[in-house]
């Protein structure tokens, strides 16, 4: 079965740039989405179709996808960005999630 691999944790200082990767076989041939989840809340879409931001999502969130890796980049990270982040894609008519990355803003 298809797998998406994320680092379990990423740390960043406030105001710096955070990058979270999501790796899967030929992931660049698929569309990747990214969701942010804060404790006790449902996941919130922050990136779809690799790099598009829904309305209301700050410009500091951006995405890319090429080769085997999709990347979520948060520029000028703020304390409110501390959360779990999940990548997601479709493979062979099934939905696959990455294991999630806990972003800590220290």
Partner 1 sequence: QVQLQESGPGLVKPSETLSLTCTVSGGSTTTYYWSWIRQPPGKGLEWIGYMYYSGITNYNPSLKSRVTISVDTSKNQFSLKLSSVTAADTAVYYCARDQGRDGYLDWGQGILVTVSS
* Residues found near partner 1 in the complex (CB under 8 A): 1, 30-31, 33, 35, 42-45, 48-49, 54, 86, 88-90, 93-100
Closer by beta carbon to partner 1, 1 or else 106: 1
Closer by beta carbon to partner 1, 48 or else 75: 48
Contact status, residue 22 vs residue 70, Cβ threshold 8 Å: yes
> Could you write out the DSSP letters of every residue in 14-43?
TTS-EEEEEE-TTGGGS-EEEEEE-TTS--
CB 99 → partner 1: shortest distance, Å?
A: 5
Closer by beta carbon to partner 1, 16 or else 26: 26
Closer by beta carbon to partner 1, 15 or else 52: 52
Q: Tokens 């989405």, residue?
A: 33
- Give me 64's structure tokens: 């890319």
- In angstroms, what CA-CA distances link 100 with 15, 61, 85? 22, 17, 5
CB 1 → partner 1: shortest distance, Å?
A: 6
CB 36 → partner 1: shortest distance, Å?
A: 12
């Amino acid at each position: 079965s298809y797998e998406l691999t994320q680092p379990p944790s990423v740390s960043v200082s406030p105001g710096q740039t955070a990058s979270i990767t999501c790796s899967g076989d030929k992931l660049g041939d698929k569309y990747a989405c990214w969701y942010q989840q804060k404790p006790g809340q449902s996941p919130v879409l922050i990136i779809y179709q690799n790099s598009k931001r829904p309305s209301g999502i700050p410009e500091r969130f951006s995405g890319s996808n090429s080769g085997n890796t999709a990347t979520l980049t948060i520029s000028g990270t703020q304390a409110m960005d501390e959360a779990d982040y999940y990548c997601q894609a479709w493979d062979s008519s099934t939905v696959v999630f990455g294991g999630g990355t806990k972003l800590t803003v220290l």
